[in-house]
Amino acid sequence: MLDRNTGRGVPGPDARMVPDPDVTEREILDHLEDICATEDFRRSSRCSGFLRYVVGETLAGRPDRIKAYAIAVSVLGRDETFDPQVDPVVRIEAGQLRRRLEHYYLTGGAGSSIRIDLPKGSYVPSFSRTAQPMSAAANVGSPSVRKGGQVPVSAIRCAAAVVGTGLAVALMFGLARPSSWTVRPVPMVQINAFVPADALSAEMASGLQDELRRALIGHDQLTVVSMEHAAEPAPPDFVMEGSVRCVEGWIRVSARLMEARTRAYVWAHAYDRPLAPEAVLADQASIAAAIARQVAVPANL
């Protein structure tokens, strides 16, 4: 059942077995508290409430009741007239929650033994126990690391966990490379154009690529490159891409960082701003600066 005062899941008499029998209900609830205690989730009461609600209902044996209408009314403050076909707020919040969870497991929660996910296309969470990643020293040179020429998931997570402290550090730890792949002193990052979802988003999207290049040039932890203008282009280590869309008077910029060789995303974040045509230039600059702070260390630090 759900405690109406705290919004936390409380096991009820009809509680069913946790989907993964190797994970106990107590472990899930403790892990839920760890997630909600992070700064990222403390800043968003809606995401925390959303996660507490769906986890509580699932543990109480009521996953069939986890619908858009119930979430909107119980968590997001909508009234009984809410229509999920007209109001996309639950889908938007679910996407935000998935991104926050992904960021958590790539950063502070990278070493967690329990994992809570919100699968796409559903609001019912899944629970699993994760294998503890090997240390970077153990990974390097191990035959299993290079099986099929693929970077292991643990290596990608290790690199992503430190991406906020500089991409060069991420490449130094956890990413095993084949001998044919040249190790560069600093990683090369290609910044692609951000894609607008509609006409209202086009103006914001148009300048983000240039603003982000400007914000990242000058960092000693990476090199910004353009394959389009290279005489003999070498593949970049990372590719930054993103999209822009407008929803209900707000504009959302979604940025993603991909490890070029494996095509694995190692970082993603969304930035929301009120839709204000007169503030486009300022918003472009502030969002580019925020992205730069999260993926590189300034040269003077």
**Cβ-contact 37, 59 below 8 angstroms:** no
Domain spanning 188-295, CATH class: alpha beta
In this prediction, residue 247 carries a pLDDT of 85
The values of phi and psi at residue 227, to 5°, are -65, -25
In this prediction, residue 254 carries a pLDDT of 92
Dump pLDDT digits (tens) for 135-172: 433 444 444 433 444 444 444 444 444 444 444 444 43
What is the full per-residue pLDDT of the chain (301 aa) written as tens digits? 444 444 444 444 333 334 556 789 999 999 999 999 998 898 888 899 999 999 999 999 999 999 999 999 999 999 999 998 888 889 888 988 998 898 899 888 888 999 999 998 899 999 998 865 444 334 444 444 334 444 444 444 444 444 444 444 444 333 444 434 444 456 788 899 999 988 888 888 888 989 998 888 876 667 888 766 655 667 788 899 999 998 888 999 999 988 888 888 888 899 999 988 888 889 999 999 988 888 764 433 3
Alpha-carbon span 157 to 264, nearest angstrom: 10
Alpha-carbon span 11 to 284, nearest angstrom: 46
Q: In the numeric block, which tokens belong to residue 271?
A: 């930035």
Instruction: Indicate the DSSP class of residue 147.
Output: G
- In angstroms, the Cα distances linking 229 to 16, 215, 219, 220 are 59, 20, 21, 22
Q: Tell me which residue of 71, 113, 75, 92 sits closest to 254, measured CA to CA.
A: 92
In the chain, domain spans: 25-129, 136-172, 188-295
**DSSP string across 214-272:** HHHTT-TT-EEE-GGG-SSPPPPSEEEEEEEEEETTEEEEEEEEEETTTTEEEEEEEEE
Please state, rounded to an integer, the average pLDDT across all residues of the chain. 76
Q: In the numeric block, which tokens belong to residue 171?
A: 């490449």
Dump pLDDT digits (tens) for 241-280: 999 998 888 999 999 988 888 888 888 899 999 988 888 8
In this prediction, residue 140 carries a pLDDT of 40
Alpha-carbon span 224 to 188, nearest angstrom: 6
